């Protein structure tokens, strides 16, 4: 068991499709990011 799971830590991940890359960059520039933001380049 990892330390994160033992402590009950649940990461917050926001995914953006490639078409929303501009929105992802805007959110980042505005400080509207919590946890990890991920730019998805494929639907796989």
Does residue 23 fall inside a structural domain? yes
CA atoms within 13 A on the CB side of 38: 10
User: How does residue 1 score in pLDDT terms, banded at 50, 70 and 90?
Assistant: low
Does residue 3 fall inside a structural domain? no
pLDDT for 20 beyond 70: yes
Does residue 26 fall inside a structural domain? yes
Does residue 27 fall inside a structural domain? yes
pLDDT for 10 beyond 90: no
Residue the block writes with tokens 């033992």: 6
User: CA–CA separation, 13 vs 3, rounded Å?
Assistant: 19
Exposed/middle/buried for residue 27 (C-beta within 10 Å: 0-12, 13-18, 19+): middle
Does residue 16 fall inside a structural domain? yes
Specify the number of domains making up the chain: 1
Q: The domain containing residue 20 runs over which residues?
A: 11-40
More confident residue, 18 or 11: 18
Does residue 25 fall inside a structural domain? yes
Does residue 24 fall inside a structural domain? yes
């Amino acid at each position: 068991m990892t330390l994160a799971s033992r402590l009950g830590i649940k990461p917050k991940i926001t995914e953006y499709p490639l078409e929303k890359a501009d929105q992802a960059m805007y959110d980042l520039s505005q400080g509207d990011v919590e946890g990890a933001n991920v730019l998805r380049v494929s639907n796989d």
